[in-house]
A and B are shown apart, each in its own frame.
Chain A
Amino acid sequence: TQLLEQSPQFLSIQEGENLTVYCNSSSVFSSLQWYRQEPGEGPVLLVTVVTGGEVKKLKRLTFQFGDARKDSSLHITAAQPGDTGLYLCAGGRTSGSRLTFGEGTQLTVNP
């Protein structure tokens, strides 16, 4: 079974601070997706990275896929209260037919 571990599990910071969330595995994934989930809703896709070493930016969010495609990180610059939510990483299994999700990082940004 391909497993994904996210860290930290919980993160509470002040508005304006920077933060990084990590998603690690001992397995290689064909792709890595990051989702954000708000209370009472399903996860919503933020980005997909498919190439080792790939970096994608989405406004204040920077996503990186490790060179060996075993890990990924999400960096948020100048966090805002609207960034509060559960961040989930999901790795594409080699068969492509399934995704493995991490446990999630609950981020709270205090005004």
Chain B
Amino acid sequence: EAQVTQNPRYLITVTGKKLTVTCSQNMNHEYMSWYRQDPGLGLRQIYYSMNVEVTDKGDVPEGYKVSRKEKRNFPLILESPSPNQTSLYFCASSSSRLPGQGSQPQHFGDGTRLSIL
């Protein structure tokens, strides 16, 4: 089954304790992206990657890191989490390097709910 898998689905942690949210897709997609979803703000892009070893900042990259060493994996790293990073996070992938042009959808994972105390 084609899917984007995020882990963990839920995490409660404390300020300053490094954490990684993993994302894996089995569709051989070149484009992957991380978003955070907050009430009243919609989905905001954190980072995206158009191919292996190629990553770019989205609209809200501060406090986050990503890596794309393999095509299928795109982990999101919070080196020193803070309470303002409490949010619902989504990983997405697309078969098109240019998801904003044309009809290829972004396939989303089921989300990771992070609570930073």
Chain A residues with a Cβ under 8 A of chain B? 1, 6, 9, 29-31, 33, 40-45, 48, 50, 88, 90-99, 101-104
B97 within 8 A of A: yes
Give which listed residue, A41, A48, A101, contacts B43 with CB less than 8 A. A101
Note all chain B residues with C-beta closer than 8 A to A90: 43
Note all chain B residues with C-beta closer than 8 A to A44: 108
**How far does the alpha carbon of A29 sit from the alpha carbon of B99 in the complex, in Å?**
12
Given contacts A42-B4, A99-B106, A31 and B111 within 8 Å (CB-CB): no
**Chain B residue total in the interface (Cβ 8 A):** 29
Stretch at the interface among B11-19, B44-52, B61-69, B76-84: B44-52
**How far does the alpha carbon of A97 sit from the alpha carbon of B54 in the complex, in Å?**
12
- Cβ contact within 8 Å between A30 and B101: yes
- Cβ contact within 8 Å between B103 and A97: no
Given contacts A1-B59, A42-B92, A42-B111, A96 and B98 within 8 Å (CB-CB): yes
**How far does the alpha carbon of A109 sit from the alpha carbon of B45 in the complex, in Å?**
30
**How far does the alpha carbon of A6 sit from the alpha carbon of B44 in the complex, in Å?**
15
Note all chain A residues with C-beta closer than 8 A to B105: 33, 45, 48
- Cβ contact within 8 Å between B59 and A99: no
Note all chain B residues with C-beta closer than 8 A to A103: 40-42
Give which listed residue, B90, B97, B101, contacts A92 with CB less than 8 A. B101
Note all chain B residues with C-beta closer than 8 A to A97: 48, 50, 56, 97-100
- Cβ contact within 8 Å between A50 and B103: yes
Given contacts A42-B90, A98-B48, A98-B58, A30 and B100 within 8 Å (CB-CB): yes
Given contacts A31-B100, A42-B4, A92-B99, A98 and B45 within 8 Å (CB-CB): yes
- Cβ contact within 8 Å between A99 and B45: yes
**How far does the alpha carbon of A56 sit from the alpha carbon of B111 in the complex, in Å?**
29
Q: List 6 A-B contacts (CB under 8 A).
A: A31-B101, A33-B105, A43-B108, A45-B106, A50-B103, A101-B42
